[in-house]
Chains A and B, each alone.
Chain A
Amino acid sequence: MPSRRSGRAIVALCGALIVATGVGIRSGAPGAAGTPLVTSIPTPLATSIGSSSGTWATLPMGRTNQPRNTFWQLFFQPAGATSWTDEVGATATATNGGLVLATAAGRPFIAGIRPANLLRFSPLISTTDGGVTWTNGVLPRGLSAHPDSLSAASDGRTLALVNSGADARVLVSSGSLSIWRTLVTARSLATQRGGRSCEPHSVSGVASLDGNPVVGADCARAGVVGIFAQGGGGWTRDGPTLPDALGRGRVQVLTMARTPTGLSALLGIAQGSGTALVAAWEANGTWTVSSSLTLGPGGPIVSFGPAGGAGYFVLSRTASGATRLAAIDGPDVHWVQLPPPPRHSATIAFAPATASAIEALTNTATTMTVWSLPSGSGNWVKSQVLHVNIKFGSSS
């Protein structure tokens, strides 16, 4: 009965087809395989820094839910002035990827433009006169997405953190911002003194202390702070020891700064669904760790940066969307909750020219509004509205 045999063959063939289509049905299901999820604390680029000529701030504007229509602005408030101007035109390129700011006493202000779209390296611009004249440089690779990716050292060198993850690389320039050499990589840090106790899986920022480069790394080992300082022909892990209560989470070095007495750092520790932040100050080789600032679940960090001489501010958003601002002045005080800044606050400018006020910069599409918090006041007061002419679609 050949017809019966062929009929069975057809049935078998079609059975295989059904199995194949069954596979197709399931093809849309999410796969279970993959690398373990590493939770990391976001490091927003929106921030502000003070320089001898004034205060610089960067924040995203435009249609911030569309990467190619998000344009980062570079605002400047000259020393002694009370209003801000937009200096982003000095970048002479699209800023969709974000800006990274750096300066130091006696050093120019430098802004690095992060890669975006088809641009994969980072142009740099610098000024010593508050943006009246600009010079430029170029990094051969793209700046990392950390606010500490650039650092101007007091000895005239400039440090830059390029690439990301295990490919992260710290470059150094001795003069021209166009000539760079590799200083250290994330991989080589693991082999340095103290590297094994940290197991760095990425570099998160660069700084310098008395001309010596310092690198912040994210350690795979819980409770270990990955601050590495160059000296004695190599790199040595330095950094505070965290209290036991914070020692169970992985530590991220969010930002570092030079203080009058040494180095300081803002550290983030992942704790379950929330985040704990601590500041740490080094003086004469001894570290002091602040109390912790706890951010609840669903409350992302919007901005952080320097607050005054040796302190830090942290602008965050609660799960309900309200903004929250905390600041710490130095090693001997606690975090202070300041009056909640207005909605849409993107960053805070401490130590502005009008030293009596703290300013919150809010962004809504093409409008940047400045709100001031007079000293001793509990209310934010609108002090400036600045419209930015954004060319939507110009990066498409």
Chain B
Amino acid sequence: MGTGLRTNDSTIVTAFHSALLHQGLIVLFILAVAGVTLNALRSLQFRRAASAGSAPPSPPAERPPESPARRLLRISFGLIWLFDGILQGQASMPLGLVPQGIQPTAAASPTWVQHVVNAGATAWTFHPVQAAAASVWIQIGIGLWLLIVPRGRWSRLGGLASLGWGLVVWVFGEAFGGIFGPGLTWLFGAPGAVLFYCAAGALIALPERVWATARPGRIVLRVLGVFFVAMAVLQAWPGRGFWSGHARAGVVGTLTGMVRAMARTPQPRVLSTWVGSFEAFDAAHGWGVNLFVVVALAAIGVAFLRARPRLALFAVVATVIVCVADWVLVEDFGFFGGVGTDPNSMIPMALVCVAGYVALVQPTELARAGVVPIVRTGTDTGSWRERLVTNPGYAFRFIAALAAIGIVLVGAVPMAVAAASPNADPILDTAVDGAPNTLHSAAPSFSLVNQRGRAVSLPSLHGKTIALTFLDPVCTSDCPIIAQEFRRADQMLGGNAKNVELVAIDANPRFTSRYDLVAFDDQENLNHVANWLYLTGSLPELRRLWDAYGILVGYASGGAMIAHSDTAYVINAHGDLRYVLNADPGGATAATESSFAAVLANSIKSTIGGS
């Protein structure tokens, strides 16, 4: 998996920034339209009120305030989604996220998890620019949605969007938070930061009347209680390397090793000093540190399971303290090092705990203060069109939600369109090989024999568009890949393939027999490709063609294969050269191979269209 390109490849980074810029302009346009629409609606409301001789409409005064717990979740997770969206804009995201972020997590998980994660990773590596840009706008859109749409169905829909996208990120981006991997521990962020985003989204999506009782708070705290107890059991489990800082024979303890790795992440010096100090402390007192963690997690879990306000308060305070400590000293803030996409799990976890506590105690206090549960008011009823022109609050929520959905779609639609194609983005090949160059000259003629021993010449192929390359039949690396790329390009041509001949000319000065070509075709399963021609001839004729097409062929020393240029040409139906492509497979990943095939297919289609 991956693209084989450097994460800071300038072609991809430039394209990513360009995509963000263009999509950012569309986002600005959406915001402008939303502002104008809102203003127009407000004017309409004023005109209607003036014509009716009444005061301008205002939000209904009798509506009770939003539940504090819900507001806490909505605003805090809205800010976190915004922050995550900004982190997704890092230049290394398109090419770096899969190999540096997703794959290492998935690699430690069972095979079925890797299969699931690979499906998402493939979509990302085939379309890295669209995927990275989509993540930026989807997360910024959800963040704004949660922040600026406080009430009603549109706000709850924002919670559902947070839940849905969070699940996508948790499964494909975090490999289920690594919960099926062998090193699961609360200290390293189990069960994954985004699962808390999902939890928060689900809570925000609940009907607002639910928040009028202490029940959601009690459930949240009890679920967290079970989670903390389970994490304490795991933490105490022997043989997992947490009970010692330094294991025997100089092997570093699990926590020490993790902290050491984090300390080496690029970051401000002061932070690495803190983390390094904790690493030394844990190396010296690993048993004590783990005992503290086990006891703390177990105590917090038991307190949450009781779900009593006084006990829960202590547990929440303890949770916030240990979460912040872990966030700073173990997770190292989570977002340094290039492909950090979120601040890791401790802050979201602490926020859900606090919200659960607030939800537990706040309804009682509101009841004491005489605040009534939420009820529908006059301006909250009627059709949505009516409410739009009569209720300013509804109009704002409606327009703001539409704007947020628009921002999400700015990222999601191009990605969805790209993902619908089984072929990788051509820009990957551009990054590897550069763009195809156009040519306008007659193709050097040839007269050779094909793999079946039949004579084939350039004039005999007139009327067909030709994709031409030079392959060594006993090549051990590039040539089989290029042959498969040609075959894939042929499949991409669909109905156009009947007007195309895929032609390879032997590029090995010793293995020039047609039997060599047959062995290669058999190996690459090209025998059944109807328009595949692998040509050979006398060595002088082959040398003339190599020179004419600019193919450098030479013996290499020391047991290396024959060195030759990886080049492809597209020749039109009249025998004229139209395109020359660098066919070097580069890292030869599935993504770059598909991308080259797409570029070749596009060049062939363009030639067919221009013939």
Contacts and interface: CB of A to CB of B under 8 A. Distances in A.
B477 A138 contact: no
A117 B476 contact: yes
Interface stretch (B116-124, B344-352, B507-515): B507-515
B558 A6 contact: no
Contacts of B472: 93
B184 A24 contact: yes
Interface stretch (B65-73, B223-231, B277-285, B390-398): B223-231
A18 B191 CA distance: 12
Nearest to B512: A136
Contacts of A6: 219
Interface stretch (B36-44, B96-104, B319-327, B559-567): B559-567
Interface string B226-241: 1100100110010010
B481 interface: yes
Contacts of B184: 21, 24-25
A388 interface: yes
A89 B557 contact: yes
Interface string A87-105: 0111111111000000000
A390 B516 CA distance: 26
B110 interface: yes
A336 interface: no
Contact of B558 (A11, A24, A139, A390): A390
Interface residues of B, number: 48
A90 B179 CA distance: 55
Contact of B509 (A24, A26, A92): A92
A137 B226 CA distance: 70
Contacts of B108: 28
B418 interface: no
A176 B562 CA distance: 23
A391 B560 contact: yes
A10 B223 contact: yes
A123 B474 contact: yes
B524 to A, nearest CB: 9
Given A136-B510, A391-B556, A394-B556, A14 B476 contact: no
B181 A24 contact: yes
A389 interface: yes
A396 B179 CA distance: 35
B522 interface: yes
Contacts of A27: 110, 180-182
A166 interface: no
Contact of B519 (A94, A96, A138): A138
A98 B557 CA distance: 15
A116 B237 contact: no
Contact of B557 (A119, A137, A178, A391): A391
A93 B476 contact: yes
A320 interface: no
Contacts of B559: 61-62, 71-73, 88, 91, 94-96, 390
A8 to B, nearest CB: 10
B523 interface: yes
A20 B180 contact: yes
A116 B476 contact: yes
From B559, B560, B563, name the one whose CB has the most chain A CB atoms within 10 angstroms: B559
B153 interface: no
Interface in A1-59: 3, 6-7, 10-11, 14, 17-18, 20-21, 23-28
Closest 10 CB pairs of A and B: A71-B559, A178-B515, A390-B558, A95-B559, A92-B510, A14-B226, A94-B561, A117-B476, A93-B474, A394-B560
